[in-house]
Amino acid sequence: MWSNLVDIWPFGFEYVRKEAFWFFLVIPLIIAWYIYQQRSNFTRINFSSNRNFAKKKVNWIALMRHVNLALFVIGVSYFILALARPHSPVDIDDYKKKNIEGIDIVISMDVSQSMLAEDLKPNRLEAAKEVAKSFIEDRPTDRIGLVLYEAEAYTQSPMTTDHEILLEQLEKVQTGMVTPGTAIGLGLITAVNRLRESDAKSKVIILMTDGLNNSGDIQPMEAAEIAKEMGVTVYTIGVGQDGAAPMPVFGGLNMNVPVEIDEELLTDIAIMTGGKYYRAKNKTELKHIYEDIDQLEKSKVKVLDFKVNPPEKYYGFLVFGLLLIVGYKVIDHTLLKHIP
């Protein structure tokens, strides 16, 4: 506590209760009342010549009143800042680092044309986005990235703890952004590259596809070998029901297309990297899969309650504000004391 008494410079802090700043609206009222009081106490003097006033003397009493008002206003301001509960961003970061051991995760999602099939409602792609959104929201301490692939792979979002931006990028995901096809190897190796600079103790890739590997220069098992060497765990998900699935075509018509998932390949990738293969035949199963992965890859929290509670910094603000108010009262009852 005592070390925090010197932290009275109001800039560079994060304020937890920003609604307290509304109290600053009282400051103009205080100043307006002071001006009104000064004018009402001013006595007019009529004179015919100003030659005796050539040398204007400093009115130290009036100046002291202005200074005393400034002390009072600053004191009130510091009380308001204390109410807003200032915290140091450095303390918040240090607290998180000390108490949370996060996991770096990359979601690698197949966005080929077949992801528009409607065996998952409303379709595979939208169901995958919705379930991934819930997964991201439930892991606030982890860095998460997003890789998309068809015949080519690209990073939609690098790994970040700013999940608001990540969710915005997830919402923009659609099919047809690159060459049609399904390059599972490229989707996996691109996700692995996103984790190359990671210093997290746990590195995870969630690889989702609804088809066969038919594109790309990198074979899926080659990418899996690299993932294994880097200590990356890969969880694979095959999306789609058995048999055939309804698929929209031109003119608003639907046609049934065969569901072809290389489950053997996805299983081998998962086993090689210490992960697990899942099959999602509907949206509910996909949701349960993400919940299972969520349980398998839990961030390590050293405290029972994760609510960020770094050292409070309002003590210095409160004491400084109190000293200014006391100083204001002392000056008002000594140097500025007047007989009515």
Q: Are strands 100-101 and 86-87 parallel, antiparallel or unpaired?
A: unpaired
Q: What does the block give as tokens for 180?
A: 């049609």
* Crossing angle of helices 163-171 and 124-137, rounded to 10°: 180
More confident residue, 238 or 48: 238
6 C-beta neighbours (distance < 10 Å), count: 10
What CA–CA distance (Å, rounded) separates 51 from 45? Answer: 15
Full-model pTM:
0.62
Alpha-carbon torsion angle 126, 234, 195, 141, nearest 10: 70
pLDDT digits (tens, 9 = 90+) for 86-116: 776 555 555 555 555 678 999 999 999 999 9
pLDDT digits (tens, 9 = 90+) for 238-258: 999 999 999 987 766 678 889
What CA–CA distance (Å, rounded) separates 123 from 127? Answer: 6
What CATH number has the domain spanning 101-301? 3.40.50.410
Alpha-carbon torsion angle 163, 168, 170, 171, nearest 10: 140
Position 7: which residue type? Answer: D
Residue 111, pLDDT score: 96
What CA–CA distance (Å, rounded) separates 149 from 114? Answer: 12
Output b/e per residue, 88-106; b: 16+ Cβ within 10 A.
beebeeebeeebbebbbbb
Above 60 in pLDDT, residue 168?
yes
Q: What does the block give as tokens for 192?
A: 């692995």
More confident residue, 55 or 308: 55
Domain boundaries, the chain: 2-41+59-88+311-333, 101-301
- Please give the average per-residue pLDDT across 265-269, as a whole number: 97
Q: Are 115 and 124 in contact (CB under 8 A)?
A: yes
φ and ψ at residue 253, rounded to 5 degrees: -90, 160
pLDDT digits (tens, 9 = 90+) for 12-43: 677 777 888 898 898 888 888 888 877 776 55
Above 60 in pLDDT, residue 6?
no
Spacing of C-alpha 322 from chain mean position: 35
